[in-house]
A = this chain, B = another copy of it.
Amino acid sequence: MQKIRSGTIAALLLGGFILPLPLAAAPSPAAAIRTTALQDNVAWDFVEGLTTEVGPRPAGTPQEARARDWAVAKLKSLRFANVRAQPFTMPVWLRGRDEAHILSPFPQQLVLAALGNSGSTPAKGIEGEVVYFPTLADLEAAPAGSLKGKIAFVSHAMTATQDGSSYGYFGATRRQGPSIASRKGAAAILIRSIGTDHHRQPHSGVQMWAEGAKPIPAAALSIPDADQLVRIMSRGRPVRLHLTLTSKMLKDQPSGNVIAEIPGADPAAGVVLAACHLDSWDQGTGAIDDASGCAIVTAAALHAAKAGPLRRTIRILMAGAEEVGGDGGRAYFAAHGAEPHAMVMESDFGADRVWRVDYKLPAGHEGLASRISAGLAPLGIGRSSALAGGGADIQPLVKAGVPVIDLQQDGTRYFDIHHTPDDTLDKVDREHLQQNVSAWAVALYEIANAPEKLDVK
């Protein structure tokens, strides 16, 4: 367990709730939910169970299928209603051997991981001279054809931010770099991992080949290895590298979502959708990405319903295949997008505490936003003026105009771990997880019981 900071939120709030002060008013239902949820054990048991009993859950693999079975059984045991898997099929990219070593001038191994949809080398690997680009813009500026037969290397260092906003900018090297290098004739591309740590844990992640870009081998070096290669390049001598990435593609593999509900009293009031994703990258156990998200929404829904029947149905969506392009979110929308949705929310940014709430509500719903913000404030959560955007699995609904709220988690250390082998249970702080459950429970309670008309149909 890595403790980030010790908190006393639970102790403070519990004190206010359970002390038998003679003159204290009974807490409001929302306050009672908030306090009780800070003692939640359901979320921890969920993360511990899924990461231990299933482990890695790559999209479209038998491990992801085991995760669906596990989640269906878990949600049934927690007495959710209408628990079911929603199957779909998809193409699957599978990692093979990921190996690289410098041939000259300073022979040594490098640690790296193929990026999703990477092309494959022959089993015996390829050799090439490395051409170094400090930034993606430098790669873009390379003359056409100048990379023919070469291995492009882009090493733009990402910086950590609390809101994770740097991922958009620096992540472009992973998302677009391979296609750019391919179009310029490169034999392969290596990037510095899109991450903020200093461990030899490469950060994988998906990239899609742009129109007309032929797949080439594409991989991320761990950050110490990218630093090392920059230093080796700095000696000014030609650097030759041997690269073996033996991935493969499979067609039409089974994936699926898992859906469960706590039925509300007024079906016409629209569904409150609380989403997360069940799949993970292949090298870690997906503890922060995104077993924690699924644990949070599951536990929070149970706490939200403890005060009595809810007006609206809370529906849990544990999406499949988020990491490789959001197939699960699209499959959900295709099947359920026409149903009235009052609100969509997603938890998919780790397990660290919620520090901010963002809204995107129809005009005239300031009252709901105020009630939610007031309920979150005792948890140290402030309201921002930023517009909520939602996570990948709910994008189709957000684009269709469904109201959305983001409970923004602290991302300062998220990209130390994201998509690496290091995404394991010990990185989850139990007290932060409980704060997430509490925040989500308050929000779901207020939304599910809101008297306002929210659905967009």
Contact = CB atoms under 8 A, between A and B. Distances in A.
A426 B198 contact: yes
Instruction: Determine the main DSSP class of A at the interface with B.
Output: loop
A424 interface: yes
A53 interface: yes
Interface string A390-402: 0000000000000
Contacts of A54: 106, 108
A51 B106 CA distance: 10
A41 interface: no
Contacts of A425: 224, 227-228, 231
Interface in A226-240: 227-228, 231-232, 235
A161 B426 CA distance: 21
A98 B274 CA distance: 41
A53 B106 contact: yes
Contact of A228 (B106, B232, B424): B424
Contact of A235 (B53, B56, B63, B108): B53
B109 A198 contact: no
A334 to B, nearest CB: 32
Copies of this chain present in the complex amount to: 2
Contacts of A232: 52-53
B426 A227 contact: yes
Nearest to A282: B109
A199 B198 contact: no
Interface string A426-452: 110000000000000000000000000
A4 to B, nearest CB: 12
Interface string A88-110: 00000000000000000111110
Contacts of A231: 48, 52, 425
A426 B197 CA distance: 11
A231 B111 CA distance: 28
A421 interface: yes
Q: Which 3 A-B pairs have the closest CB atoms?
A: A55-B108, A224-B424, A200-B421
Given A55-B107, A55-B108, A199-B201, 4 more contacts: A2-B198, A54-B106, A198-B427, A228-B424
